[in-house]
Structure 1
């Protein structure tokens, strides 16, 4: 079953607040999720100390830096960084409309995964709204390549991810995760996979002002002898690494501004490749169509979707 194919748009049932530190800034940050009306989409509101508010829609056109994380906005003073983990939870749980107030420049890293956000949404509740959801359905392949890396969208009756990574590190090596995506699958197989890094990169990252909040409480750390430093080890046998890369891909593609019907495949991808693949798709209007379903209470078949006027629905360009 594709992600969140409920027929109608959703929002959270009540406000909720979470707090933590930014993995790169090391600063304490608090975020509050607020219910939103249909067709609002996902909107980040950065609350500044002087009372100003920077509003950033969670859409492809607002993606700035993608070097180490996904950033919305194009200046450090008016941006929100590391949005991918919360966006993955929002997308996979079928949450369409929410306001996210954040009192800092970066989302809290929590435990390095999406699970704390999934758990919070489940406890608070997600409610349907009386407006039909629209989807981007892939109708022809779109592919980008860069060096030895590639990403592509392909037509598929459902929502599917096939993500493969290939590291020189013998602990990781070549790993692949593939499967049809829905809330149950995401929670069980991907949501608890943590971000990871190498001890050999720490000093370089610190010198550039990154990873200042990284610790064994929120990251899987690989030592110089290619072992996991974390006492508890890995959460998903040996392939927590590719599961986290898949989690990242879910969050990055959530910036389409709506859910998609199709298969996303990548080899040695990352935030930048995910963002560029999404832009390539959205820039090719012959590669997709915008549809809505008339079958909200069961898994829709192809006949249940109707095509709508795509030019009237382009949240990714907002």
Structure 2
């Protein structure tokens, strides 16, 4: 992929985010003994091995602890009116429409699409097509027009406490990806082109990210009509045989990640090695104040 495809939304990170997070986190690697990550070793072996080799060259260790997922879904508090309302909504759709009938839309807690008109077009298409959906909006950058998202009949906007999806490791539910920045675009390539367990929306790209794609040589049209047409085609595939095939592939991925915490699983061994490494460090390294 071309370098500008790493920013498919033409996202420019806020200055404070760069200063407080990205720059400090990179600098912190210079004085650490190693790194423990919540990435899964078995999810992308090639990338994991590349990171391990890189840190080994710096005399540092790399440990992979994922998946860190609760064994059971936590039940919402009776005082959490929004979560309770969302569950009532989903129960209603399950009863009336059956399984796999609701779309959950989430851009997580930090980023948001840079072109509100394209997001509104996508949401309009869902409501006009009679496809029920739940949308979380925890990001402070979230912007939704009153016209675009709230005129449909079967939708629910959730502001914050409904847990985001945990990807393909918990449920065999194919994802429709709308990458924005950092690792999202490369993950999208891996999930769509390599594992074939997801679809990526291309017409929603904007700004510098809307240039020609390395994979096809073609640039997205980028119009609202193109966004609507692409989403229509993706949903048609998702609710038919293509969706069935992707769910079958997801079951294989899920089994691999579930085995990671078995008695001889990779994640269990990685965390055990990490704890052994930490406990072998001098006390002055672990607790400098107490040692002095």
Coarse TM-score class (shorter-chain normalised): under 0.3
Higher percent of residues as strand: 1
TM-score, with structure 2 as normaliser: 0.26
TM-score, with structure 1 as normaliser: 0.24
